Structure 1
């Protein structure tokens, strides 16, 4: 069952903006690391989705939300939402080129890269170490608050299971003796990092120490953006398993459509039983 205190993060409209277009509330003080949530949005009409409204009532300590709108300019709808969200929020914008909006191509690439550029520009003149964790929040996921507690101790790159993804009830890193040794996945287990965008967090210090690490458009195959990005900053051996050695699901793909379990095995193949 889902945690009753879960909240959903959805895309409203758009992608990332230039770093100097940012607006944010006064930064919280203190030495405790901050968690940065980077979200891209897609164009839509009407009111913000319910999951965004739920976000306003959730209190996650020291959370900085970076919302990157897919647009040439910030929209009035998203600007109003950000103003009333009750969270420290940076609202950026950058349009996705028309040629990259075809079905089957990765979404929010420009937005994620703009968010990374903003973080690096903002922190480049501050002395290390700079505590903090970056998490890429997609528009179609639901998150347990416990997940944000899990990622607080990320030293470099932490990982965990994701529910209702890849045509299965869940996918997860396989862990032995506290180390990731493989992947339980329904799609392309040969990927270097067979993981969903919602299945990892990165230390801010790692982002800053790898200034050229970005999400690629050219040369990146469908479904490989996570692997292509993670290969630039870490190795499988360095991954830090969270969520009870990757045996608890704390984030779910909860699209408003029938769940796709086409790749779910007829008989249980995993070595552990996980509640989804």
Structure 2
């Protein structure tokens, strides 16, 4: 039997080692446990961050969708109205390098006009693919026609037979289409307007012409060598003459873009067309209008013809060291712009 003294000695020897081993074991395992806990915490936080990121992305996506929607809340052309009279815009066109550019410019104007029907007539044997595609892409309400001008009336080099201005046959085809499409007894009201593809038009012009009862008229800018041509209107609001340089004795000394006709008047006068033969240059407008109205029937628009509602293509003169550009400024009122071209700058001055 071991003595009590030996047992105490054994305990005193073993106990320190046991405590030492226990302390060492705990110090080695605790960092691992804390690391695993931290990993689990990091995992939870990362998953929370991931969910938060997804929520943030979804919110951002919703914001993006909302922004895109707000950018396209409008539509072109404007919705059709049952109250407003329709405007039938007749445009003759022919193939040339700038044709698509000028038709695009005109289409972008017409897209802002409610209740508009565009009758585009090509001077060709058949409708061309480029014009068909352009019309389809505009979204406008349109009719696409074609008729080729006879060879003896086409351009020959730098000269053209002056007996028939370009676009006459095309405009007449559009008039025939209107008469074949609409009945004179139809209740539908409308206005007919001749808009060439190389001109620029104010949106106010279409609002003005929509109230036309027979034939309405207004000034036209940059034609006949003038800053503008205009009907002369007396104090009673009646047209009595014409402000023009070229042959003011014409029955209707007006540009093609300077008048609009009520559709019912067109339908009621089936004999009214632009004359093809026996008409001097500049008398095409008169050949149609004298079959429709007299001078006293004309309805002056644009504040009794004191404002300009349409601009022709800008006339540019090119002296050696300067350019003279006539343009529009301040809404519809005309100003002259003097353009000085120097070595390093291009300076504009309003006169």
TM-score range, shorter chain: 0.7 to 0.9
Contact 1:161 1:173 in 2 (8 A): yes
Aligned to 1:22: none
Relative to its length, the structure with more helix (as a share) is 2
Question: What per-residue deviation string (whole Å, max 9, x for no partner) do you get for residues 226-259 of structure 1?
Answer: 011100000110000000000100101115x526
| Equivalent of residue 59 in structure 1, options 101, 112, 119 | 112
Aligned to 1:84: 137
**1:149 and 2:207 correspond:** yes
SS of the aligned residue for 1:48 comes to: helix
**1:164 and 2:222 correspond:** yes
**1:74 and 2:127 correspond:** yes
Which segment is superposed worse, 41-50 or 64-73?
A: 41-50
SS of the aligned residue for 1:68 comes to: strand
| Equivalent of residue 177 in structure 2, options 118, 122, 137 | 118
How many residue pairs get aligned? The number is: 235
* Alpha-carbon distance between aligned partners in 1 of 2:238 and 2:100, rounded to the nearest angstrom: 40
Contact 1:130 1:204 in 2 (8 A): no
* Alpha-carbon distance between aligned partners in 2 of 1:50 and 1:132, rounded to the nearest angstrom: 25
Q: How does 1:132-143 map to 2 (within 5 A)?
A: 132-143=190-201
Aligned to 1:42: 94
Runs ≥4 residues deviating over 6 A: none
Aligned to 1:109: 168
* Cα offset, 1:138, TM superposition: 1.0
* Alpha-carbon distance between aligned partners in 2 of 1:85 and 1:52, rounded to the nearest angstrom: 9
Contact 2:232 2:240 in 1 (8 A): yes
| Equivalent of residue 196 in structure 1, options 247, 252, 255 | 255
C-alpha root-mean-square deviation of aligned residues, in Å?
Answer: 2.1
Contact 2:274 2:284 in 1 (8 A): yes
* Alpha-carbon distance between aligned partners in 2 of 1:112 and 1:54, rounded to the nearest angstrom: 17
Are the structure 2 counterparts of residues 140 and 56 from structure 1 closer, same or farther at C-alpha, using a change threshold of 3 Å?
closer
* Alpha-carbon distance between aligned partners in 2 of 1:75 and 1:128, rounded to the nearest angstrom: 33
* Cα offset, 1:186, TM superposition: 1.3
* Alpha-carbon distance between aligned partners in 1 of 2:299 and 2:205, rounded to the nearest angstrom: 14
* Alpha-carbon distance between aligned partners in 1 of 2:291 and 2:247, rounded to the nearest angstrom: 20
SS of the aligned residue for 2:222 comes to: strand
Instruction: List gaps (5 residues or longer) in structure 1.
Output: 1-26, 261-273
Which segment is superposed worse, 54-63 or 75-84?
A: 54-63
Aligned to 1:268: none
Q: How does 1:194-233 map to 2 (within 5 A)?
A: 194-233=253-292
* Alpha-carbon distance between aligned partners in 2 of 1:54 and 1:127, rounded to the nearest angstrom: 32
Aligned to 1:237: 296
Question: What per-residue deviation string (whole Å, max 9, x for no partner) do you get for residues 120-163 of structure 1?
Answer: 10002x63443110000012211000000000100000000000
* Alpha-carbon distance between aligned partners in 2 of 1:228 and 1:42, rounded to the nearest angstrom: 23
* Cα offset, 1:275, TM superposition: 2.7
TM-score normalized with structure 1 length: 0.80
Are the structure 2 counterparts of residues 132 and 212 from structure 1 closer, same or farther at C-alpha, using a change threshold of 3 Å?
same
Question: What per-residue deviation string (whole Å, max 9, x for no partner) do you get for residues 85-108 of structure 1?
Answer: 121011111101111114234010
Instruction: List gaps (5 residues or longer) in structure 2.
Output: 1-78, 319-332, 336-351
